[in-house]
Amino acid sequence: MPIEAHLAYCSGCDRQVRVVVSPLAVREGREPTEGDLICLEHGDTCSTDLCPLFQVPSEEMKARYGDLLEDARKRLESE
């Protein structure tokens, strides 16, 4: 199942950025929580320690992005 990206306005970037819902929430068939949202452009122009879009520490957003990459890697290996 491909990951569907959505656009959301980020005040830190002053533009639309791509965001996704964690594949785990999709696989589990549940409504996503705030912890399931991932900015695909995190770090491009972020200049604060807090993600302005989701109000989480930058390190947490980096971890979510890393989890997304790891999930994608595992899915590719299993194909």
**Residue 31 falls inside a structural domain:** yes
**Residue 38 falls inside a structural domain:** yes
Domain region containing 26: 6-77
Tens digit of pLDDT at every position of the chain (79 positions): 677 899 999 988 889 999 999 988 888 999 999 899 999 888 766 767 888 888 889 889 989 999 999 988 988 898 7
Model pTM score: 0.79
Total structural domains within the chain? 1
**Residue 18 falls inside a structural domain:** yes
- Angstrom distance (rounded) from CA 40 to CA 19: 5
**Residue 1 falls inside a structural domain:** no
- Angstrom distance (rounded) from CA 26 to CA 21: 7
Tokens of 27: 């696989």
